[in-house]
Chains A and B, each alone.
Chain A
Amino acid sequence: MKKLLLSFLMATACAGIAYAQAYCGSHAFDGQHRNEVQGYIMAGNNVVTDGFGGFAASYRRHLTNRWDVGGDFQAQFGKQLYSFDVMAGYRLPLKYGNIFFDGFFHYNRYDKWGFNETIVNLSAIWESPYVDIRLGESYIHYQRSGHRGMSDGYSEPLTLTFGIGVNIRHRNNPWNIGLFFRNYDDFYYENWNINWGVRFYAPLPRRMRLFGEFNVRPAGSISQLASKYEGSVKLGVKYNW
């Protein structure tokens, strides 16, 4: 009973206060496989667009055991959202875990409403066997190509990026499950609107790994009256060589 109560309190606390990087974190280069490719499909329901679905693909190249570069692409039908990004990262090994310094340049085309969005994000992620914490800043600019022509656009004030994830098993285990709490997803960064949900990965043959997450994305400040905004599921496969 005590264990059950503690487990529930821990899960509730994680759900109430925390985040995660997609797919249970970044994971350090294993020293053998320099290339990673992954793809996932997604489906969900959004207040503005109703049902939506799509796919995403990404590639990472470990240049050394410290430096890596990569790029991602996604298409979300229903939202008519098309995105790509490029990134570069540096891993600083610590006695307990790693710190990843990541820089992303994203481009999003919200075609349904004619908006082009560009984002530069710089983050630091401390990743331990059970916990990962991300802190960063995002520069977000968008403009609309409408009937009044291309607008001058708007640059948001710098937006704080934060998130936390917890795993129930050591990160190096072949399967894992965790919770996340964050104000961003793979291709967007929000102000005080928080995503949270559950994530997992599991082994597949031939250096492949199955991963996925269930993401609840409320609208409104969680300290006030957050409301149902979007729920989505991602399911994908990662392969390295």
Chain B
Amino acid sequence: MRTHYYIIAAALAALVFTSCEKVSPIGVLVSGTAVEDRVKMSHLYYQQYKNELEIKIADDEYTFIVGGDSHVTTDPGRMDEMLAIGLQNNDLLYAHLGDIADTKAEYYIVLDSLIEEAKKRYINKYYDVDKNNPDKYTLKSDPQQSYLYSEITFPFFPVVGNHDLTHNGWALWSNIFHSSFYEFPVIVTNRETGAVEADRFIFLDTASGTMGQEQINLIEDGVLDGSDGIRYRHTFVFSHTNIFRPSSTQFASTFPREETFFLLNQFVHWNCSIVFCGHVHAWDEREFEGVTYLTLDSMSERNSPEPGDYLVRVHVKNDGSLTWEKVHMNYTAKKK
């Protein structure tokens, strides 16, 4: 009988322990920054630097490129290729769907170096050194504007993934990318009418398989609803966790039911054109309530060693219509 009491006591202790706010059911084994704290930190950063995220372009036609689940380790060939493809095609921005690196400090050093190199190549392509001040750069398309290196934003926008969080990975991830919950507009001027219009890019923190209460409250408060008075042509959402499962044999976790329905409803409310997801390492394309959902395959060397169509490029045209296409990656993973 005493054994029974021990079992009951142990079970109750385990339940109380794991239902605490700060402890995940496996938190004893793997600790990390919970979604509530990540969103609070991200939102503070977003509020502070909101205006710097805004992208204004003279033209009303542009492309952007999306990839995900790169799981960068010591062989960063695919990530390097994605950055090169975007620069070569004059894509306006990059979006990454999370699990950007496997969580080790050395992998994040590799990633950080890659992005710094890409930023230099980006500046080299779109900027000139300021003739009056060698520490500054002027836009080739608008030489009146002069910026310090640190003031130039390399247009690489990721969401955080579950693999970015293990072993306190948030500290590494947020040190480079700062915010996992943000939105920004791409403001365009209609070529024919001269009217100012915008497309909206929303990045959600879904790395934990749930949005968390703080993020849901902020969304319900309209934090991501954009600026008043701007007509949004398109809204694009980026989430690590996928909404739809590609097949019965995909056991990667999706959102719980209530959250699935909350999100599907919210995407309709935002009048989304495309929602991009990752996480499950399998391609899936479907439409629900007029919203296109694209779940991208993993572009990582380990999961997809052979060349393949791992990226997606979206083309937003001057008449407001959009098309998307898969983009081939040629890099073959190094043999170990």
Contacts and interface: CB of A to CB of B under 8 A. Distances in A.
Interface of A: 3-4, 6-8, 10-12, 14-16, 46-50, 79, 81, 110, 112-115, 117, 142, 144, 146-148, 151, 154, 156-160, 168-169, 177, 179, 188, 190-193, 196-198, 214, 216-222, 224-231
A229 B210 contact: yes
B324 to A, nearest CB: 20
B30 to A, nearest CB: 7
B262 A48 contact: yes
A229 B10 CA distance: 22
A147 B289 CA distance: 10
A221 to B, nearest CB: 4
A47 B216 contact: yes
Contact of B4 (A6, A168, A214, A222): A168
For the complex of A and B, 5 pairs with smallest distance between CB atoms: A220-B209, A219-B210, A7-B6, A11-B10, A227-B208
A5 to B, nearest CB: 9
Contact of B18 (A112, A158, A216, A230): A216
Given A220-B210, A224-B162, A224-B253, A168 B259 contact: no
Nearest to A81: B258
B162 A79 contact: no
B11 A3 contact: no
B265 A48 contact: no
B34 interface: yes
A49 B217 CA distance: 10
Contacts of A146: 265, 268, 289
15 contacts: A3-B2, A3-B3, A14-B11, A15-B18, A50-B213, A113-B264, A117-B257, A142-B261, A154-B244, A157-B247, A179-B11, A190-B257, A219-B208, A221-B253, A225-B166
A148 B24 contact: no
B24 A227 contact: yes
Contacts of A225: 24, 26, 30, 32, 162, 165-166, 207-209
A168 B8 contact: yes
B222 interface: no
A188 to B, nearest CB: 5
B290 interface: yes
Contacts of A50: 213
A98 to B, nearest CB: 24
A14 B166 CA distance: 24
B25 interface: yes
A48 B216 contact: yes
B19 interface: yes
A231 B213 CA distance: 14
Contact of A219 (B15, B19, B250, B259): B259
Nearest to A45: B213
Binding site secondary structure of chain A: mixed
A226 B207 CA distance: 10
B25 A218 contact: yes
A224 B289 CA distance: 31
B265 A198 contact: no
Contacts of A117: 257
Given A113-B262, A115-B261, A179-B11, A193 B268 contact: no
Contacts of A3: 2-3, 6
B303 to A, nearest CB: 15
Nearest to A227: B208
B252 interface: yes
A111 to B, nearest CB: 10
Contacts of A113: 261-262, 264-265
B224 to A, nearest CB: 16
A159 B244 CA distance: 12
Given A7-B6, A11-B14, A48-B259, 5 more contacts: A7-B9, A81-B258, A157-B250, A160-B248, A229-B256
A164 to B, nearest CB: 14
Task: Pick the most buried of B7, B15, B213, B246: most chain A CB atoms within 10 A of its CB.
Answer: B7
Contacts of A10: 7, 10
Given A113-B265, A222-B25, A15 B253 contact: no
A220 B257 CA distance: 12
Contacts of B268: 144, 146-148
B196 interface: no
Contacts of B265: 113-115, 144, 146
A142 B7 CA distance: 41
Contacts of A14: 11
